[in-house]
Amino acid sequence: MKKTMMGNYAASWGAQLSRVQVIAAYPITPQTLIVEKLSDIVADGELKAKFIKVESEHSAMAACIGASSTGARAYTATSAQGLALMHEMLHWAGLARLPIVMANVNRAMAPGWSIWADQNDSLSQRDTGWMSIFSSSAQDILDSTIISYKVSEKVLLPTLISFDAFFLSHTVEVVDMPEQELVDKFLPPYKPEYKMDVNDPRSFGALTDEQYYYEFRYKMQEAMDQAIDVIKETCREYEEITGRHYDLIHAYRCEDADMIMVTSGTIAETTNVTVDTLREEGHKVGNLQIRYIRPYPKKDILAAIGGAKKLAVIDRNISPGYSGIFSQELKSALYNEIDIPVRSYIAGLGGRDVKIEDIKDIAYNALEHDEPNDLIWKGVKK
């Protein structure tokens, strides 16, 4: 059934439809509405779940870890400083191989105190062993939540679903809600093979010397590799019941493109529209939206780039002292594989609006120059 809702509520609905059993969260703007809604849903008895109020995000993740260890489907949501405070626990959830799903509203790290869109918060958690998605619409948020539980529970890795503050969190749009029965069929209850069980007591996460730790890391990498196929297969299954197509990347008009823009989050959707305008002007451009940064879909990306002659990456994030993170990742994927120039652009940090005109400017700049560039800060007031 189609409904209008804010991106935040799409996250709440995604969790409800996934029949999460434990929610532990601490409020932070612009995430607050997600958990407020869930606490209402739980209080009204519409979702049989335990809502745990905690004193910090660190505790929220700790509670999710506890719940997930016992085999419960656990959910939380956060943003920026809250996600940063979880950092230690994120590594724990990853290495304990717990299929927790979390929403993160991409918000700029403070100071300056900001509540606006910026990807640095979730990208700072890139190496914690979480699968990591950047959603680009309210529909994407809802669908990704449901899909992620299935994927996470198969490969035993947690998933982080990030989406831009306000551009998605507080924007009302049309969302097609799948029927609960349909979701139930797609996503059966979580029955873990490995769990904390009073009838089979054992210790988890105990001292692990170098004879084994190394192998646990290896196994995590193996799971990430397998996840690529599992994600594809799960997305296909989801498409069968909903008609909506998802993948690790979304290539728009890339097949015959001479130049491909590489984007993520809400900028990706605005770029799709921009590509149409640029095509009308006669420029053969495409847009490659990176949805998953972990596992990194290297093969898919190389295939989508195909015979393009140039790439232009737009990053709403920055690794200070080097460059945008999507740009770095892309360059390392291309190395030894495809030898074409990559031009790197920063845009939209701290929620600065990225308009069609801005993306056009970036495209024109990239079309005009054939050499790889020093980082260009689109629209920075120097």
Contact flag: residue 298 with other proteins (CB under 8 A) = no
List the one residue from 88, 127, 281, 353 that touches other proteins (CB under 8 A): 353
* Residue with smaller CB distance to other proteins, 14 or 265: 265
Sketch the per residue contact string, 70 through 109, with other proteins: x for CB under 8 A, - otherwise.
-------------------------xxxx-----------
272 binds other proteins (CB under 8 A): yes
246 binds other proteins (CB under 8 A): no
351 forms part of the interface with other proteins (CB under 8 A): yes
Is residue 159 at the binding interface for other proteins, with CB under 8 A as the rule?
no
131 strand-pairing partners: 159
Alpha-carbon gap, residue 70 to 160, rounded angstroms = 20
Residue 4 near other proteins by CB under 8 A: yes
Distances (CA, A) of 364 to 95, 242, 360: 44, 38, 6
247: Cβ contacts below 8 Å, ≥ 6 apart: 231, 232, 235, 291, 300
The answer to whether residue 290 forms part of the interface with other proteins (CB under 8 A) is: no
Q: How far is the CB of 194 from other proteins (least distance, A)?
A: 6
Among 21, 31, 266, 289, binds other proteins (CB under 8 A): 266
- Name which position in 171, 328, 365, 373 contacts other proteins (CB under 8 A): 171
Q: Specify the residue, 262 or 354, whose C-beta has the smaller distance to other proteins.
A: 354
Closer to other proteins at the Cβ: 48 or 202? Answer: 202
| Among 53, 87, 154, 170, interactor with other proteins by CB under 8 A | 170
Edge-first strand listing for the sheet containing 259-263: 249-252, 285-290, 259-263, 310-315, 342-346, 376-377
Q: How far is the CB of 170 from other proteins (least distance, A)?
A: 6
- For 343, the 3-state DSSP assignment is strand
Distance CA 275, CA 363 (A): 9
- Number of residues binding to other proteins, judged by CB under 8 A: 50
CB 296 within 8 A of CB 134: no
CB 218 to other proteins: min, Å: 5
User: Does 270 interact with other proteins (rule: CB under 8 A)?
Assistant: yes
Q: Say if CB 122 and CB 81 are below 8 A apart.
A: no
- DSSP β-bridge partners for residue 197: none
Q: Which of 10, 326, 21, 365 lies closest to 171 in space, CA to CA?
A: 10
CB of 117 to other proteins, least distance (A): 8
Would you count residue 13 as binding other proteins (CB under 8 A)? no
Single residue of 116, 130, 246, 326 touching other proteins by CB under 8 A = 116
Cα distance between the two ends of the chain: 49
Q: Which residue of 44, 112, 198, 202 would you call a contact of other proteins, by CB under 8 A?
A: 202
**Nearest to other proteins of 34, 115 (CB atom):** 115
CA 253 and chain centroid, separation: 23
Q: Find the farthest-apart pair of alpha carbons in the chain and give their distance in angstroms, rounded.
A: 68
Is residue 40 close enough to count as binding other proteins by CB under 8 A? no
Residue 206 interacts with other proteins (CB under 8 A): yes or no? yes
Interatomic CA distance for residues 224 and 129, integer angstroms: 8
State how far the Cα of 334 lies from the Cα of 258, in Å rounded to an integer.
Answer: 16
Q: DSSP assignment, residue 112?
A: S
Among residues 26, 77, 93, 88, the alpha carbon closest in space to that of 56 is found at 26
- Residue with smaller CB distance to other proteins, 171 or 365: 171
The residue ranges that bind other proteins (CB under 8 A) are 2, 4, 95-98, 115-116, 136-137, 156, 164-168, 170-174, 193-194, 200, 202-206, 208, 212-213, 215-216, 218-220, 222-223, 266-267, 269-270, 272-273, 351, 353-356
